[in-house]
Amino acid sequence: MTQILEVKKLKKYYPIKKIGRRSYVKAVDNISFSVRRGKILGILGESGCGKSTLGRVITRLEMENGGDIFFLGNNISGINYRKIKDFRQKMQVIFQNPYDSFDPRRAIIKSLEIPMKLLNIGQNRRNRIEIIMDAMERAKLTPAYDYLERYPHELSGGQLQRISMLRSMLLKPNFLVADECVSMLDVSVRAEVLNMLLQFRSELETSILFITHDISVAKYMCDRIMVIYAGKVMEIADAKELISNPMHPYTKALISYSPIISPQREKDRFTITGEVVTPIDPPAGCRFASRCPFAKEICYTEDPEMTEISPGHFAACHLID
């Protein structure tokens, strides 16, 4: 099974000015991972940990400060792909707020048809509309013709998010970044949207980077899960392995505080105190040390290396032998 995306020691720093010196917000700091064809990698962590920044850098909406990104075997680091049509077809993104993803002055049919026309998908306008309507019917947006001439403000968040997914999938991308794509939706429609995403993955063999803060959603959607804290990778493993056998204290905390994942772990719950470490020139050592109830002296001085605990299961923690 081939790797469609490989990221090596990726960094994204934002410079800020302080009196007498320049500091940096280290949003993504030395992150490495890979995604295989047709698989879903979940990116899990609290708000502000760098998940969305990672997605924006990979999709070339922002440029990295260091590291390498290999996509379909090619190194795309340091290249601005914003205006390269071929790349935009192969790598798509679904944003958190669907209302910010559409031109409010443009009918839905135009928003769906224009990308297809620019990328020469469909023989003519009639054929493109047929493709769009067929995709809508399969996405349970029925009757399809009832949606074509509507404007974004005339649709619910769930309907518009499904159309946002359709717009990406009509281009048959090799890779998709889904950035908190259900966090703004009602619980009643989340399952429909998630199942639609899984259906597209199955049909097109599209690899997906699924960004979320909800560990129960990550368990449902993902083949593997990578846990991030303050711009650093804490743990990465197969989804079932990570949920059933978490090794990093931060991962254990996330799971123990998820009633859907672990309703019986109340007695094992431990309290995380303090605030998330600042990403502005963060201190030495483990990023989680200031909130970890098990931290030792070495945790405050040395940055832990990723350790392979079992095949495919890695964690960065000094407590792990």
Both structure tokens of 200: 């597209």
Q: What is the pLDDT of residues 272-296, one digit of tens each?
A: 777 778 888 888 899 999 888 888 9
pTM of the model: 0.91
pLDDT at 83: 60
C-alpha torsion 235→237→239→241, nearest 10: -100
**Helix H segments across 32-120?**
51-58, 85-90, 108-118
User: Are the CB atoms for 109 and 129 separated by under 8 Å?
Assistant: yes
How far is residue 87's CA from residue 84's CA, in Å, rounded to a whole number?
Answer: 6
Band of pLDDT at residue 87, cut at 50, 70 and 90: confident
Mean pLDDT of all residues in 77-96:
83
Q: What is the pLDDT of residues 194-251, one digit of tens each?
A: 988 998 899 889 999 999 988 889 999 999 999 999 999 999 999 999 999 999 999 9
DSSP 8-state code for residue 109: H
User: Are the CB atoms for 88 and 81 separated by under 8 Å?
Assistant: yes
Q: What is the pLDDT of residues 54-74, one digit of tens each?
A: 999 999 999 999 999 999 999
Enumerate residues 6+ apart whose C-beta is below 8 A from 98.
152, 157, 160, 161, 163, 164, 184
Residue 111 has φ and ψ, to the nearest 5°, of: -65, -30
Both structure tokens of 177: 């970044």
Q: 3-98+174-189+207-316 belongs to which CATH class?
A: alpha beta
Percentage helix, strand, coil, to 5, in the chain? Answer: 35, 25, 40
pLDDT at 175: 96
pLDDT at 147: 92
Chain mean pLDDT for the chain:
89
* Helices 157-169, 187-204: inter-axial angle, 10-degree rounding: 10
Q: What is the pLDDT of residues 123-154, one digit of tens each?
A: 899 999 999 999 998 888 889 899 999 999 99
Portion of the chain with pLDDT greater than 90, in percent: 60
Enumerate residues 6+ apart whose C-beta is below 8 A from 54.
10, 12, 28, 31, 43, 211, 228
User: Are the CB atoms for 160 and 179 separated by under 8 Å?
Assistant: no
How far is residue 256's CA from residue 316's CA, in Å, rounded to a whole number?
Answer: 19
Q: What is the pLDDT of residues 160-171, one digit of tens each?
A: 998 999 999 999
Residue 261 has pLDDT above 90, yes or no: no
pLDDT at 265: 52
Portion of the chain with pLDDT greater than 70, in percent: 94
Within 13 Å, how many C-alpha atoms sit on residue 44's CB side?
32
Residue 78 has pLDDT above 90, yes or no: no
Q: How would you list the strands of the sheet with 74-75, edge to edge?
A: 21-36, 3-18, 66-71, 74-75
**Which residue(s) pair with 92 in the sheet?**
176
Both structure tokens of 121: 């998908």
pLDDT at 264: 55
Please work out, in degrees rounded to the nearest 5, the angle formed at the alpha carbon of residue 293 by the alpha carbons of 292 and 295: 65
Q: Closest Cα to residue 129, out of 107, 104, 151?
A: 107
Residue environment code for 182-200, b if the CB has 16+ CB neighbours within 10 A, otherwise e: beebeeebbebbbebbeeb
